[in-house]
Structure 1
Amino acid sequence: MMFRDRREAGRLLAERVAATAPDAVLVLALPRGGLPVAAPIADRLGAALDIVVARKLGAPGHPEFGVGAIAEDGPPVYDQDNLRYARTTERSMAGTLAAERAELRRRIRRYRGDRPAPPVTGRVVVLVDDGLATGVTAHAALRWIRGRGPARLLLAVPVCSPQARDLLAPETDGIVYLSAPADFLAVGRWYEDFGQLTDADVDEVMRGYTHA
């Protein structure tokens, strides 16, 4: 299943989310890529839209291969299988963790300013990203949200690897997706337009939405 771009994927996914969680009151996106997907979902549900800032921890020498992730002020979450595959350890990731923690703080200041993190306690929350490869970034975000006591927590993505779907299922009250191809390979493979987004793109999407 190919998507023209993230917006189209969000519009298609919105109908599936509405059927699964019509009472959702808060849509949280993983910026940058998750926001264009999340906006049509928030529109369809009439829900508030906000962000959860997370950063992947890439393997030394192979930064695109996620072995862990951090979200907001939460602790790192590591994928032990990926650590072993990359022949690295949590201790050896200390330098990468410090650098990504600094970038995460920069993005929080850039995207949210003085606004506090979105309150999720007792709310029905849908976390949205543009796809799941290893799923490690969404894993950290889900752990952070779950630790704040939502009434119900769903994960919504247009496309995901079967492995990531199965990994994250225990962390959610349900995963809503449109496609989980066995030959997944990479998120961008399933989009005709998967251009890199900027901080300005985040600002553009967030303008005009009621935040949490």
Structure 2
Amino acid sequence: MAPEGFTIFRSRLAAGRLLGERLATNLKGEIIVVTVSAGGFPVADSVAGIMHAVTVYLPTLYIPDPANPKKTIGAVNFGCAVTNDEGNELPGNYVYRQVQQLQQELKSNFVDQSAVFNKVLLNNQVVIVNDVVENAASVIAAIRLIRGYQPKLLTLATPVITVDAYMKIREEVDDIVALETVSPHMVAHAFNSDDYLEFIDEIPT
């Protein structure tokens, strides 16, 4: 158990700078940064600043577990839905209805990025950036959507990833760059502030 007050990183911005420096040693040329969550936005902003990259936001919503509203069973973006093991055990009609409802919600609340993706992702190096990768479904949904745009290289970059998520994602991307690989109970200790709230107004809608 971590000591009271312990955090792995001071802030998402600080973690993003460290992540950007790590990525800059491996990736050269034009980079497109994609993030899938509000929490990932300040990390992606720091990475993009260091790598002089374009940042694209891919909004993602989660499929609720009907038996436990605090849990999720998968994730949905504009063009792809992925369920986890628990979701695969539920009736298909429940999952289908949730996917349709959530994709409609995305279309109502966000600008569809398909045209932007088609312009900037084709034959480019793409880095998916998030603050913490614990729920593999959201990242895998992003990966599978982005693969359709034929990127030259697809990398996942994150300050913190759980061992389970790493194992599920590693075959889906060309590389994973993570500053820390942790057990699930350490995820709550990743950062000591909700600094992503400062970026809410900058997230495209």
TM-score bucket (shorter structure): 0.7 to 0.9
SS of residue matched to 1:122: coil
Partner of 1:180: 181
Question: Higher strand share goes to which structure?
Answer: 2
SS in 2 for 1:158: strand
Alpha-carbon offset, residue 68 of structure 1: 1.5
Cα 1:203–1:61 change in 2 (3 A) is same
RMSD across aligned positions (CA): 2.4
Determine the C-alpha separation between the residues in 2 that align with 1:103 and 1:175: 30
Which stretches of structure 1, 4 residues or more, deviate above 4 A after TM superposition?
none
Q: For residue 91 of structure 1, report the CA deviation from its aligned partner.
A: 2.4
Specify the SS of the correspondent of 1:201.
helix
Alignment of 1:15-164 (within 5 A): 15-72=21-78, 74-79=79-84, 81-83=85-87, 88-109=90-111, 116-118=115-117, 119-164=120-165
Q: How many residues align?
A: 196
Structure 2 length-normalised TM: 0.84
3-state SS, counterpart of residue 20 of structure 1? coil
CA offset digits 1:174-193 (Å, max 9, x no partner): 01111111x32363331111
Larger mean Cα displacement after TM superposition, 117-126 or 20-29? 20-29
Q: Secondary structure at the match of 1:21?
A: coil
- Normalising by the residue count of structure 1, what TM-score does the alignment of the two structures yield? 0.81
- Secondary structure at 2:37's aligned position in 1? coil
Which letter maps to 1:15? E
Tell me, which stretches of 5 or more residues in structure 1 are unaligned? 207-212
Mark the runs of 5 or more structure 2 residues left unpaired by the alignment.
Answer: 1-6
Q: What one-letter code is carried by the residue in structure 2 that aligns with 1:177?
A: A
